[in-house]
A and B are shown apart, each in its own frame.
Chain A
Amino acid sequence: MKAFRQLTGTAAPLREKGQLMANIDTDMIIPKQFLKTVERTGLSKGLFHELKTLPDGSPDPDFVLNQPAFEKSGILIAGDNFGCGSSREHAPWALLDQGISCVIAPSFADIFYNNCLKNGILPVVLPAEVCDALADQAGGGNHVFTVDLEAQVVTAPDGGVHPFEIGSGARQNLLEGLDEIGATLRASDQIEEFEARRRLAMPWLAREA
C-alpha cells in the first residue's frame, strides 16, 4: 500500500443544486457493470459513471470531475454517509485510479471507510458546516488545499486550519503504507496459540483440511 502523508492540490466538491450530496452509495461510486474485472486498476472509467454520463452516453459537462479544472483533483468533498451500501472495494480502487487519495465528508459508511484505509486513501471526517465551507472554497478548481495526516489538519485556500480525528492505528498504518498481512503474519505464534485454545474450547468446530 502506498503511504499517505501529505497532499496538496485542488478539491472537487460533489454537489447538487449547491448542496453537498449525502448518501452517495458505492453503487453510485462504481456501478455493477464495472465489477466484473479481476484487476484492481483501470476502474476510473466506471467512477461515478451514472453521475458523469448523460443518457446518450456522452460526458455530462456539468459533472465536477468532467470539468478540466477538477479532473486532476486529488481530494473529493462530499456529504453525509459517503460510501454506504455494498462492500465493493472497487469503489476506493476507482477513486485511486482517478487520482483521488483523500475524501472529506461529515461521515462515512463503515465498510467503505475501512476499505479506504487499506488502499492508502485518507477519509477525513469534518463537521458538515466545515465541509460546506471547504466546498465553497474549491473555487474554479484553482484553489489549493493541503491535507496533512501527520499534523491531522486540513488547510483551506483561505488559510483556515481544520483539525480532524483519526484512529491512531489507522493513522500510523497510512503514514507507513503498512503491509498489514505481512505484519499480522509476524504474529503467527499468537494465531497458533489461539487455534490451540479454540480446539479445546470448541471441539465441535474442528474440521480436517
Chain B
Amino acid sequence: MTAKTLYDKIWESHLVGEDAETGEALIYIDLHLIHEVTTPQAFAGLRQAGRSVRRPELTLAVADHNTPTENQAAGLRGVHDPQARTQLETLARNVAEHGIEFFPMGHANNGIVHVVGPEQGRTQPGLTIVCGDSHTSTHGAFGALAHGIGTSEVEHVLATQTLRARKMKNMAVDVHGELADGVTAKDLALHLIARIGTAGGTGHVIEYRGEAIRALSMEARMTLCNLSIEAGARAGLIAPDETTFEYMAGRPMAPKAGAWETAMAYWQTLHSDADAPWDEVINIDAAEVEPTVTWGTSPEQAIALSGRVPRPEDYPEPSKQNAVARALDYMGLEGGAPIAGTPVQRVFIGSCTNSRIEDLRAAADIVRGRQVAEGVRAMVVPGSGLVRAQAEAEGLDVIFREAGFEWRQPGCSMCLGMNPDILAPGERCASTSNRNFEGRQGRGGRTHLMSPQLAARAAVNGVIG
C-alpha cells in the first residue's frame, strides 16, 4: 500500500468523483459553517435558480462578523448600522427558510464561527469543513481538512453538499524540541510566516508535526492552524491524539457512548504514514522561537520582540524595498529602531485566532492586580458566549474590569472592524488578531499582531514589550 499523508487520506475518503483528465474532483463536505457576510448572495443565487439546501443538518449558522459587542440583549434594534442589520436579518430569514441550525447574536452559544464549531463538538477529526471565511483553517487543529471558500462555492456547497476542488500539495512543518517558557503558538506561527512568507504555503496543505506540536493544547493548536492562511496555505492540519480526544469528549455534538468507540477506531487511523512523500518539509528548532510581533502591514513582517525594525536597504530586491518603505511609512516607524518600547493607544484581545478561554486566562494572569496604562484603551472580546460565561465563572472578567479593560460580548469585533469597534487613523494597536493589513482595523489604524500575553503586557505597560 502506498504511504499517504493525513491530507491524502482525508481527501481520498471524501472523493465523490474525479475527472482524471482535468484533475478536477468533487469532494463531499461534512460540515458547512456559515455567517452573515459571505452568504446573502449565495442564498439569493439558490432562490433565483429554484434550488434548495441539500443537507441543512450539515450546516451551522452564526452571526459574528458585524455584530456589535455591547448591548446584544437589544437584539437587531441595537444594531445601528442599517446595512449590517440588513445582513443579519437576511441570514435569519435564510436559515429559517432552509431549516438550518442558527446561533443568532445574543444566543448563549453564539460567537465567532471558528470558536463555536469546536466548542459544540461539530468540528471532529477526519471531517471536511468549509466556510466562507479564510480562517476556517482553524479547524485543522482537530485533524479535519478545513479551509475557506468564496461565496460562489458557498452556494455550490449549499446546493450539492460538495465542492469542486483540485488536490493541493503536501507541506510538513516539523517543529523539533520544546518551545521556551512564555513562547506561544502565536509566536511560533508568526515566526514561521516571517520565515516562509505570506505566499510560502500557497498551493499546499500544511501539516504541523513534531514534539513541540504534540505538547500544544487544543486551543494553541487552533491558533497555529488558524494562521496557516497567513502563510498562504488554505488549510493547516494536526493529527488527532489524546489531547484532541480529551478536548472533544462530552461536547454537545461529539459522538456519544457506543458511537464514540467506533469513531475513535477511525480517528486513530488519521495520521501521516511514516514514509509518506512530502512536496516540501520545513524544519523549525522550537528553541529558536522567541516572543514575536509584527512591525509592518503584512503578517510576514514579523520580528522577535528583542529585534529591530528593518530598513528598506536591508533587502536587495527593489520591490521588497518599496514594500518595506511603504509599511514603515504607514506604521509610523523608523527603520533600525527596536520594536520594544513602541507606545500603543489601543489593545485588542479577541478574534478567531486568540479569544478562547486559555487565551483569556493567560492575559488575565499578566493583568491581575495591575492597571491599564494611562492613555491606553483596552478591550477583551471573548470568542463566544460560552467562553465569556466560563471566564466569568472563573472571575477573569473582574480581573480585566478592575484593571480598566472593557469586557465585551462575543464577535469578530476589531479583528476586521466591520462592527463599530475600529481604530482611528494613526492609532496604534497591540492586537491578538491575525491581519495587520493597511486599514484592516480601521482606516489609518496601525496593527501589531502578538500573543495574548504580549498584548496584555502592552496594555499595562503602555508600550510593546
Binding site for B on A (CB under 8 A): 16-17, 19-23, 25, 27-28, 31-33, 35-40, 50, 55, 79-81, 84-89, 92, 107, 109-111, 114-115, 118-119, 167-170, 172, 180-182, 184-185, 187-188, 190-191, 194-195, 198, 201-205, 207-209
A–B Cβ pairs within 8 angstroms, 13 of them: A37-B40, A38-B44, A38-B86, A50-B439, A80-B199, A119-B152, A169-B22, A180-B164, A184-B159, A191-B26, A191-B161, A194-B16, A202-B266
Q: Report the minimum CB–CB distance from A124 to chain B (whole Å).
A: 16
Q: Report the minimum CB–CB distance from B422 to chain A (whole Å).
A: 9
Partner of B199, one of A20, A84, A86, A89: A84
**In the complex, how many residues of chain B place their beta carbon closer than 8 angstroms to a beta carbon of chain A?**
85
A-contact 0/1 string along B153-194, CB 8 Å cutoff:
101100111101010100000000000000000000000000
Known: A81-B199, A81-B232. A23 touches B150 (CB 8 A): no
Binding site for A on B (CB under 8 A): 13, 16-17, 19, 21-24, 26, 28, 30, 37-38, 40-41, 44, 49, 51, 54-58, 65-66, 81, 83-84, 86-87, 90, 99, 124, 126-127, 132-134, 147-153, 155-156, 159-162, 164, 166, 168, 198-199, 202-203, 229, 232, 234, 255, 259-260, 262-263, 266, 298, 318-320, 322-323, 326, 416-418, 425, 435, 437-440, 443-444
Residue of A nearest to B53 (CB): A209
B84 cross-chain contacts in A, Cβ below 8 A: 36
Q: Report the minimum CB–CB distance from B147 to chain A (whole Å).
A: 8
B322 cross-chain contacts in A, Cβ below 8 A: 16-17, 19, 21
Contact across chains for A36 and B87 when beta carbons are under 8 A apart = yes
Known: A87-B38, A190-B26. A27 touches B439 (CB 8 A): yes
CA distance A118 to B152 in the complex (A): 6
Residue of A nearest to B425 (CB): A55
Contact across chains for A184 and B164 when beta carbons are under 8 A apart = yes
Partner of A38, one of B90, B232, B263: B90
CA distance A60 to B28 in the complex (A): 47
Q: Given contacts A167-B166, A194-B28, could you give 16 more A-B pairs where the C-beta distance is less than 8 Å?
A: A20-B319, A21-B323, A32-B440, A36-B37, A85-B134, A86-B416, A111-B149, A167-B23, A169-B23, A169-B166, A181-B156, A181-B160, A184-B26, A198-B28, A208-B57, A209-B99
Contact across chains for B255 and A204 when beta carbons are under 8 A apart = yes
